[in-house]
Amino acid sequence: MARHTARDLRSENRFEVLHALFELGPSTRQELARHTGLSQATVATLVTEFLSGGVLHIAAVERNTGGRPQERLTIAPDRGRIVGVDVAETYVDAVVHDLALDVLSHAEVALDEKENDPGYVVDGIVRAVDRALGADESERERVIGVGVSMPGHVHPDAGVSVFAPNWDWHDVHIEELLEQRLAIPVYVDNPLKAVILSEMWFGVGNVVDSMAVVNLGTGVGAGIALDGSLIRGITNNAGEWGHTLLELDGRACRCGRRGCVEAYVGAPGLRTTLAEIDPGHPTLRQPRQRDFVEAVAEGLAAGDPALSALVLRTGRYLAAGLGDLVNLLDVPHITLTGWASEALADRLVPAVRDELPHHVLPGSLPGLTVEPSQVPGNAVALGMAAFTLQRFLTRLGLASPARTRPRPDREPAGFGRRAVTVPSPGPDAV
C-alpha cells in the first residue's frame, strides 16, 4: 500500500473543495467549509491557491447588512480545455470540456472491431481528438490534458494497457504512444473507474456514497464506490464483475474462462442468447454489435416475441450477477450505464427489478434501487475529464512534482502522475 503523505491529503482536500463546487454551484468559503467538513482556514488557503492558478473566479460579492462582504466563488470554465476520450472496441468518442466540465464539442470515430493493432487504435483516438478540437489552433493550445479510457486492465500510473482481452493486447504503452502523437499530457485509466467517478460527482453520488455502476457494452463490468471512496484494488482491477462466474462450465468467455457474466450479458452474449431462442431470427444478420443491439431495441418496440424472450432471459442473467454483487458489497444502489444498457433500459431495468429479489439476501433488499444512469452525455468521457482535472489540480501551485515513480524524461508540463482522490495502484505493481 502506498503511504498517505501530507501532499496526498492536500490533494484530497483540493478535490473535496472542487467536488463541492460542482455539487453546490457558486459558493462562499463558509459554504464550502460546511459542505466539505474542512476547516475555514484550510478552505481559505485552497481557495487562494485556486484563485491564483486561475481555476476559480469570483462570481459575485454579497454585502449582507452588518457582516463582511462575502465572495461567491465558481470554477473558471475558460482556464483551459480537457478532452475526455471513451475508447471501446467499436468506436472512439472524444469530448471537449471546459474546466467546469461542461461539454463544448465532441467527435466519434468508428473502429473496426476485428482490427486490434495498437497503431490502428491510436490512430483512431488521434483522429477523434483532432476532430473534436476542430481547426481552431488556439483551442488546442488551451488543452491542459487528455484523459483516455481504455478497455481492459489499465495501469494508470505507468500509462500502460496491461491486458485488453478483446484485442489481445499485453503491456501496450498507450500513454506514451498517444503523447508522441498528440503533444498533450495524457492520462489513461479504465472505463469502470471513469463511470464510477462520473456517478459519484454528477449522478447518484450526490445522494448515496456507496454504489455500483454496472457498464454494459461489448464487455461488462462494475465501478464501485464504498463510503465515498472509489475502489481500485491493488492492481486497478477491482470491479471486473463481468468475469465472475454465472455458470460453471458455461459459455466460453473472451478472458479464457467459461461461464463468466460477460458471456451472457455483454453484446456478443445477447447474440448467443438470441441464437439459442431463435436461430433463424433476422436480427442475427446484423454483423456489427451496435447495429445488432439497436435492431433488438427496435424489434422490442414492435413487439417481437423472440426479442421479448431475449430481454427477459438477459434480465434473469443480469439479476443473478447483480445479486452476487449486492451480496458481496452490500451497496444500496446500482446504476446501469453503457451503450447496450441505454438502448435496452426501458425493458431491461424492469426485468432486472422483478428478478433481483430472488438473488439478494433479504437483509440487503429494503431500499435497494436499480436505475439507469442520470449522468448527462458520455459518462466515460466525463469521468476521464474529471480524472484529468484532478491531475491538473495536483500540480497546481506545487513547486515539485507529486511523489511518484520518477520519470523525469517523460514528465509532461501539464500535470503530475498520481493524483486521484482514491487509492491508486502502487508504483511497482506492473
CB 307 within 8 Å of CB 292: no
Closest CA to 237 of 190, 197, 195: 190
CB atoms within 10 A of CB 303: 8
Sole window of 254-262, 324-332, 341-349, 366-374 interacting with Zn ion (rule: CB under 5 A): 254-262
Task: Report the residue from 154, 220, 253, 384 that binds Zn ion according to the rule CB under 5 A.
Answer: 253
Question: Which C-beta is closer to Zn ion: that of 260 or that of 402?
Answer: 260
Tally the C-alpha atoms within 13 A of residue 303's C-alpha that lie toward its C-beta. 0
Q: If binding is defined by CB under 5 A, does position 307 make contact with Zn ion?
A: no
Question: Which C-beta is closer to Zn ion: that of 239 or that of 414?
Answer: 239
Task: Report the residue from 109, 260, 307, 329 that binds Zn ion according to the rule CB under 5 A.
Answer: 260
Provide the grid cell at 371.
436505475
- Cβ 279 to Zn ion, closest distance in Å? 24
Give the E-state strand segments of 15-149 in sequence order: 56-62, 70-75, 81-87, 91-98, 103-110, 143-149
- Cβ 321 to Zn ion, closest distance in Å? 12
Task: Report the residue from 243, 281, 290, 347 that binds Zn ion according to the rule CB under 5 A.
Answer: 243
Question: Which C-beta is closer to Zn ion: that of 10 or that of 257?
Answer: 257
| Long-range contacts (CB closer than 8 Å, 24 or more residues apart) made by 113-121 | 113/89, 113/218, 113/288, 113/289, 116/166, 116/167, 116/168, 116/169, 118/169, 118/172, 118/174, 118/177, 121/87, 121/92, 121/167
Task: Report the residue from 51, 226, 255, 309 that binds Zn ion according to the rule CB under 5 A.
Answer: 255
Question: Which C-beta is closer to Zn ion: that of 129 or that of 214?
Answer: 214
Question: Using CA atoms, how far apart are residues 167 and 154, in angstroms rounded to an integer?
Answer: 13
The torsion of the CA quartet 289, 294, 296, 300, rounded to 10 degrees, works out to 170
Question: Which C-beta is closer to Zn ion: that of 238 or that of 420?
Answer: 238
Count of residues near Zn ion by CB under 5 A? 5
Sole window of 41-49, 216-224, 252-260, 382-390 interacting with Zn ion (rule: CB under 5 A): 252-260
Sole window of 85-93, 96-104, 239-247, 282-290 interacting with Zn ion (rule: CB under 5 A): 239-247
Amino acid at site 279: P
Question: Which C-beta is closer to Zn ion: that of 137 or that of 249?
Answer: 249
> Which residues here bind Zn ion, judged by CB under 5 A?
243, 253, 255, 257, 260
